[in-house]
Structure 1
Amino acid sequence: MISFARSLAALGAVLASTSALAQVPALLPVPAEVRAGQGALAIGGKTGLLVPEGDAGARNAAERFAALVAETRGLKLAIAPRAAAPAIRFVRAATGKPESYRLDVTPRGATITAGDDAGLLYGAVTLWQAMTQVPGKGAVRVPAFGVVDAPRFGWRGLMLDSARHFQSPAYVRKLIDWMAVNKLNTFHWHLVDDQGWRIEIKRYPKLTEVSGWRHPATAAGAPQLPQVGGFYTQDEIRAIVAYAAARGIRIVPEIEMPGHALAAIRAYPELGTGVAIPPGTESDWGVFPWLYNVEDSTFEFLENVLDEVIDLFPSKYIHVGGDEAVKDQWKGSPRIQERMKAIGIPDETALQALFMHRIGEHLTKRGRKLIGWDEILEGGEVPADATITSWRGIEGAITAAKSGHDAVLSPAPTLYVNHRQGMGDNEPPGRLEVIDLKTVYAFEPIPAEIPEAQRHHVLGLQANLWTEHTRTEERASLQFFPRAAAVAEIGWSAKGKRDFGGFVERVVPQMARMRDLGLEASTAAFDVKPSFDFAPSSNRVTVSLANQVGLKMRYTTDGSSVTAKSPVYSRPFVAKLPFELKAEPILAGRPVPGGIAQSVTRQSLYRRSDEALKTCTNKVVLALEDDYPASGERAVFVSDIFNPCWLWEKAPVGDAKQIAVTVGQIPFNFQVGKDRDGIKFMPPESPEGEFVVYADKCQGPRLATLPLAPAAGNPGLTRLVGSLAPRAGTATLCITYTAKGVEPLWAIDAVELVP
């Protein structure tokens, strides 16, 4: 792999060699107006930072700028009352809309002008980006240039789900730093869900004592995984809120209701409808049926919780969820049905609307605004000032705007960054429908269906990271970036200013400078993906190379390093087995992250990882992490949980005598309701079951049977080997297994043909 730091050093040499680019820095998000100047400004240790006396906002912007410069260039700049050398001035003056700014860089100094604190911060970020076009430490010369800039939307956000998996306060602060340098301004914090309650509520301590912790699900017979969890104390939250505010970021907290309420009901069962919670349910994923009841005592609980939340978060918006509230328990509760009849409520959807209306009234009394997922539009009782987060596509935003409600766009799957960015073996677990960088960047937040007169109701957009399958903070970072930078540019830059090719040229150095801020971003967008067309009777392979963003690539096949003299890939080429393939994507003639180096042998072509297989169906395809071992590396399995079945197309079976399938078992910990009854398997031929291999997409003859007995007692990976019926040439292999039910869920790690 090529590091972002090395990539920027190489790329910067090229960019600096062209006078036009040297005069106008590559900035992200792309500004509204940029102009080249004459000469350059030298910024060194003696450069002073000048702020208006008594202007706390300007001083904060100067301090943030100095901190960024110190972290990335090791250069210490100080606020001074005056400066003999050229200085960087922070000036308070009107610049138009909120968050706008002007930046003027000349050989005599730099001036950041803005009418509000956020504008001063963003001007400082722009100047910092100009100082870090090429990595290095110490003093730097910045070509003279000017910027007049303002955001397109006032809501440019990320949502972090801390309920499914807890992230440390230190990580949350890092994420806030990364947001700030991309001019993202809204952090939607999902603090409550079925799997965990992450916010300390003084009045109800069992919320965190009981529901701040859980044991992850494990397959039967596997060692139980250690308890996981955690919660944020009120003091920690106050500190994080202040930290974010100093960086121009508001935090919008989310307390889910009436659904996604299992954590609260675990702690205080009287909040539910009396339906018992089976042990371990909190470790499942999916849509749960447990809802709050509608007793006055429950509303008192929720209002008390919200009062403590309001005291912690100054945001005018309080998110109350409202999504995926399965009404089965309400329908089955005689008490709730009696209440509905007494107050004349026609159905459970209307009851949820009334529920939300009552919560909205309480927030209004406290001077706050209710925001919820688009389901709160249903039922006819939407609070008049409610804001909608449109996640089931864009339809929620269209309906909201047409009916006079503000809306934020976060449609699934386009802005759901829990989806994988690629299909490489090193991709973190998550949903399998690939949402790559180009797909995110192409999103337009204002649907054409919204009339011009109502388009002001579109506040902006955000990307959501749901963390069911994001166990670590490192994985969260990979899933957010660089896609979050695309969201930032969509939210900030005018539609006509955006260009994906230009964005790629700017996001590479952006990720490199953010590496000095502690970010390890995904390289999936740039990764070279080879494919091999191979016939068993031949000793030659046709090699194709590709990457998601269409960058040119250089390659070698003799084991030598890729250099500027290596051939540029233009079409598939033929190589003789065995060979060493090395390839690197290039931008402006220089390497960028995503290079590969791998040995290609006859045996390697007889092997496929699960990422290289196809699933037979695409009902709910996930990349699921193994539940073993408790520490260390675990396998990640690609599977359709409703139909575990895999296809190996063009498998070179012609001279294969055996087939080896490496398998693992994981718990079926999914709340899928009655859909679970529809998951069917062929009956097993032995007590433990068996993997079976068919030809021609499961319609042809059975080619192999691999009993599961050797794997049944192994919580880790097991390699099953069996004879393969003779078959000429290549074939599509269909691989599935027999079972009595979904526990455990078997999955494939790799398949190998043995000549």
Structure 2
Amino acid sequence: MVRLIAILIVTSSGLVAAGQPSPVDLVPRPVHAELHDGSFEIGPATPILVASSLPEARGVAEYLRDQLKKRTGLSPAIKSVEPLAVSDGAITLMIGLRSEARMEALQCDLLVRRERALIVSSTTESAFHGVQTFLQLLDRKSPQGAAANWHVPSISIRDFPRYPHRGMLLDCGRHFMDKAFVKRYIDLLAFHKMNVLHWHLTEDQGWRIEIRKYPKLTEIGAWRKARDDEKPTRGDLYGGFYTQEDVREIVAYAKSRFVIVIPEIEMPGHCLAALASYPELSCNGTPLAVGREWGVIEDVYCAGNERVFEFLQDVLSEVLELFPSELIHIGGDECPKKRWQQCLKCQFRMRAEGLKDEHELQSYFIRRVEKFLNSRGRRLVGWDEILEGGLAPNATVQSWRGLDGAIAAARSGHDVICSPTSHCYLDYPQEPNPAAPEWMGFIDLKKAYSFVPAPPDLTAEQLRHVLGLEGNIWTERAPQERVDHQVFPRLCALAEVAWSPASTRNWEDFERRMRTHYRRLDELGVTYCVPAPRVVVDGKPLGDPAAIPASAEIMLENPFHAGEIRFTLDGSEPEKDSPAYARSFELDRPLRLRAATWLPGGNHSDSIDIRLTPK
């Protein structure tokens, strides 16, 4: 039994009022925080104390030790003791305790003074969240290169999540991501107190998970003829897949970080890779190739073919053995109906089941899959198209086409996950980009931070069905090396939306805290999006580059708080050793100006490429 000898209680006095700046630069912002004088120093002799009666606590302690070693070179000893008591000079993990009479289910209190550091939590998971807060607060007390100690400021923090579902979708179907990269993203999610990796594993352009009963899914479906902008990985093919052992390893790794992995196996559309492997599952049965082009493809699973449902149940049976998550995502989006309209089997199915149109046929399809998943103790989740034709009885809806789907599902008593294109699509540009499809627009950091997952049209009871949010990184235009740039820093904003109370939201304060957090991302090797330089002509933003007054003054502005602008005038890509922009210049002849913002660590913006012509 853990025995509490002494504890410092977080009180309401001195805490930051709603909407006011936070006293500490944490992301996501905690529920309450109060700074005190001094700091707790961490040195070679600082131990981590846990209760020997709680073996699960040791895993959190080992994680903290490993992260401290990675960050500082220090490797604190872990001491399992009984009874556990507050001890000066130590970091103490007190799990299963309540420092207040009314403590939230996932609350963690971080109580740091000069003498000691305590992480007091109701659960092992909340203790892990407290460790993330502790690691964000960690700072070097001595100059860079000195051998002395690190420290954490004296502080009292009370913290717990707003929503239970705080996630990110990682699309490994369009572009394959290697196993180490997926595990790295699990770490980045955990660092931001996010707890769901929605793993998009099957697509028109690639099937990424080994299914032993159907080996052609990875022998054929995992590989496509490389596009012009892709580097082949096997002969002239691009692709890859995860063995079942890879999946088990990733799921276990996520579990150790308190991240749930929800697999997505797309149906009845977005399945061309499967149909290329087993053409008999399509409506016409003709040979098909794994998709190379992006977009919505008309070939889908045949809803009138009983063999399709046998196949999908076999596939899902193997998936369920690998993934313990209660929710299983089946896609359900963007399913064209043309093949079904032309298919005798599908039309016969509609007549036999009394279905009035192909939307109801899709609902029939989803309901059959849901019945199977429910029989195995799992719950189905699908994109908001599963509302069309009638919603499956126990389904969770992920709303992406705005929040109308979320509102409709919640009103009918169904759980919802919010990830609308307007705020949560991380494949969209972060600043205006003429090269991107016009329909994308752009989502900058401020817009992502402004997201409100709770639709105002819902009652308090209906809002209980809003589980949370996901940021979605679709990878048509984001191979592995581009994902960081697309995801960050917007995932930081969505993490705060999902974690922190709505009453504490303050854009100016978040923007200020992000200046510190960018340094943490740098330490983690995250190549986040750096805003590109802006061109100013005679003191005004650039308009028509082909109609600039002769002898106009051309200036470049850096919209980011760090870095310097590197530029070229010969059409070459600006690199870190290109000329540094220092002063304005006059436009006396046509020029091709290319410029990028470079940070000291090597991260940089996309370059601007503008042909300036004096009139």
TM over 0.5: yes
Cα distance in structure 2, aligned partners of 1:596 and 1:293? 59
Q: Does 1:419 align with 2:428?
A: yes
**2:258 corresponds to which of 225, 236, 248:** 248
Cα distance in structure 1, aligned partners of 2:583 and 2:211? 53
Q: Does 1:458 align with 2:473?
A: no
Cα distance in structure 2, aligned partners of 1:313 and 1:56? 24
For 2:467, the aligned partner's letter is L
**1:273 corresponds to which of 266, 270, 283:** 283
User: Is the Cα–Cα contact under 8 Å of residues 429 and 636 in structure 1 kept in the other structure?
Assistant: no
**Equivalent position SS for 1:392:** coil
Per the alignment, residue 29 of structure 1 pairs with 28
Tell me the C-alpha RMSD between the 2 structures.
Answer: 3.3
1:148 to partner: Cα distance: 0.7
**1:394 corresponds to which of 377, 380, 403:** 403
User: Is the Cα–Cα contact under 8 Å of residues 42 and 142 in structure 1 kept in the other structure?
Assistant: yes
**Equivalent position SS for 1:346:** coil
**Equivalent position SS for 1:283:** coil
1:327 to partner: Cα distance: 0.4
Residues 102/605 of structure 1: CA separation in 2 closer, same or farther (3 Å cut):
farther
For 2:528, the aligned partner's letter is A
Per the alignment, residue 592 of structure 2 pairs with 607
Per the alignment, residue 539 of structure 1 pairs with 551
**Equivalent position SS for 1:256:** strand
Q: Does 1:161 align with 2:171?
A: yes
Per-residue CA deviations over 1:215-256 (Å, capped at 9, x if unaligned) read: 12349xxxx993211000111111110111111100000000
Per the alignment, residue 148 of structure 1 pairs with 158
Map residues 576-591 of structure 1 onto 2, 5 A cutoff: none
Map residues 80-91 of structure 1 onto 2, 5 A cutoff: 80-81=79-80, 86-91=89-94
Q: Does 1:436 align with 2:435?
A: no
Report the number of matched residues: 553
1:277 to partner: Cα distance: 5.2
Per-residue CA deviations over 1:51-83 (Å, capped at 9, x if unaligned) read: 111423311211121222222222222212469
Per the alignment, residue 101 of structure 1 pairs with 108
Cα distance in structure 1, aligned partners of 2:300 and 2:77? 55
User: Is the Cα–Cα contact under 8 Å of residues 29 and 182 in structure 1 kept in the other structure?
Assistant: yes
Per the alignment, residue 408 of structure 1 pairs with 417
Q: Which structure shows the higher strand fraction?
A: 1
User: Is the Cα–Cα contact under 8 Å of residues 47 and 85 in structure 1 kept in the other structure?
Assistant: no
User: Is the Cα–Cα contact under 8 Å of residues 429 and 443 in structure 2 kept in the other structure?
Assistant: yes
Per the alignment, residue 509 of structure 1 pairs with 516
Cα distance in structure 2, aligned partners of 1:318 and 1:461? 16
Per-residue CA deviations over 1:450-470 (Å, capped at 9, x if unaligned) read: 122210110000100110111
For 2:525, the aligned partner's letter is G
Q: Does 1:282 align with 2:267?
A: no
For 1:413, the aligned partner's letter is S
Per the alignment, residue 667 of structure 1 pairs with none
Q: Does 1:529 align with 2:541?
A: no
**1:489 corresponds to which of 474, 496, 499:** 496
1:477 to partner: Cα distance: 1.1
Per the alignment, residue 129 of structure 2 pairs with 122
Per-residue CA deviations over 1:476-520 (Å, capped at 9, x if unaligned) read: 011111111111000000111111111122223223223333322
Q: Does 1:321 align with 2:331?
A: yes
Cα distance in structure 1, aligned partners of 2:395 and 2:374? 10
Cα distance in structure 1, aligned partners of 2:44 and 2:438? 46
Q: Does 1:62 align with 2:61?
A: yes
Cα distance in structure 1, aligned partners of 2:41 and 2:595? 53
Per-residue CA deviations over 1:432-461 (Å, capped at 9, x if unaligned) read: 522111110011110111122210110000
Cα distance in structure 1, aligned partners of 2:301 and 2:433? 41
Per-residue CA deviations over 1:145-198 (Å, capped at 9, x if unaligned) read: 111111100111110000000000000011111111110111000000100000
1:99 to partner: Cα distance: 2.8
Q: Does 1:175 align with 2:185?
A: yes
Per the alignment, residue 456 of structure 2 pairs with 448
Per-residue CA deviations over 1:7-61 (Å, capped at 9, x if unaligned) read: xxxxxxxxxxxxxx9x953111110011122432111111100111142331121
Residues 45/193 of structure 1: CA separation in 2 closer, same or farther (3 Å cut):
same
Structure 1: which 5+ runs fail to align? 1-20, 560-576, 578-594, 612-634, 639-647, 654-728, 730-755
Map residues 251-400 of structure 1 onto 2, 5 A cutoff: 251-274=261-284, 276=286, 279=289, 282-294=291-303, 295-380=305-390, 382-400=391-409
For 1:547, the aligned partner's letter is P
1:288 to partner: Cα distance: 0.6
User: Is the Cα–Cα contact under 8 Å of residues 24 and 145 in structure 1 kept in the other structure?
Assistant: no
Cα distance in structure 1, aligned partners of 2:354 and 2:549? 76
More off after superposition, 79-88 vs 302-311: 79-88
Cα distance in structure 2, aligned partners of 1:609 and 1:515? 25
Cα distance in structure 1, aligned partners of 2:354 and 2:80? 69
Residues 547/610 of structure 1: CA separation in 2 closer, same or farther (3 Å cut):
closer
Cα distance in structure 2, aligned partners of 1:133 and 1:152? 31
Residues 603/373 of structure 1: CA separation in 2 closer, same or farther (3 Å cut):
farther
User: Is the Cα–Cα contact under 8 Å of residues 72 and 517 in structure 1 kept in the other structure?
Assistant: no
For 1:486, the aligned partner's letter is A
Per the alignment, residue 568 of structure 1 pairs with none
**Equivalent position SS for 1:128:** helix
For 2:454, the aligned partner's letter is I
For 1:441, the aligned partner's letter is Y
**Equivalent position SS for 1:285:** coil
Larger radius of gyration: 1
Cα distance in structure 2, aligned partners of 1:97 and 1:178? 25
Cα distance in structure 1, aligned partners of 2:581 and 2:190? 32
1:601 to partner: Cα distance: 6.1
For 2:114, the aligned partner's letter is P
Residues 136/450 of structure 1: CA separation in 2 closer, same or farther (3 Å cut):
farther
Cα distance in structure 2, aligned partners of 1:288 and 1:274? 14
Map residues 648-687 of structure 1 onto 2, 5 A cutoff: 652=613
User: Is the Cα–Cα contact under 8 Å of residues 275 and 282 in structure 2 kept in the other structure?
Assistant: yes
User: Is the Cα–Cα contact under 8 Å of residues 594 and 607 in structure 2 kept in the other structure?
Assistant: no
Cα distance in structure 1, aligned partners of 2:165 and 2:534? 36
**Equivalent position SS for 1:70:** helix
User: Is the Cα–Cα contact under 8 Å of residues 207 and 263 in structure 1 kept in the other structure?
Assistant: yes
Residues 532/604 of structure 1: CA separation in 2 closer, same or farther (3 Å cut):
farther
Cα distance in structure 2, aligned partners of 1:519 and 1:358? 42
1:140 to partner: Cα distance: 1.6
Calculate percent identity across the aligned residue pairs.
37
User: Is the Cα–Cα contact under 8 Å of residues 154 and 459 in structure 1 kept in the other structure?
Assistant: yes
Per the alignment, residue 17 of structure 2 pairs with none
Cα distance in structure 2, aligned partners of 1:424 and 1:112? 45
Cα distance in structure 2, aligned partners of 1:514 and 1:501? 20
Cα distance in structure 2, aligned partners of 1:196 and 1:278? 13
Compute the TM-score of the two structures, normalised by the length of structure 1: 0.68
For 1:151, the aligned partner's letter is P
1:537 to partner: Cα distance: 6.1
**Equivalent position SS for 1:364:** helix
1:607 to partner: Cα distance: 3.0
**Equivalent position SS for 2:220:** helix
Cα distance in structure 1, aligned partners of 2:274 and 2:105? 39
**Equivalent position SS for 2:362:** helix
For 1:480, the aligned partner's letter is V
User: Is the Cα–Cα contact under 8 Å of residues 201 and 209 in structure 2 kept in the other structure?
Assistant: yes
**Equivalent position SS for 2:469:** strand
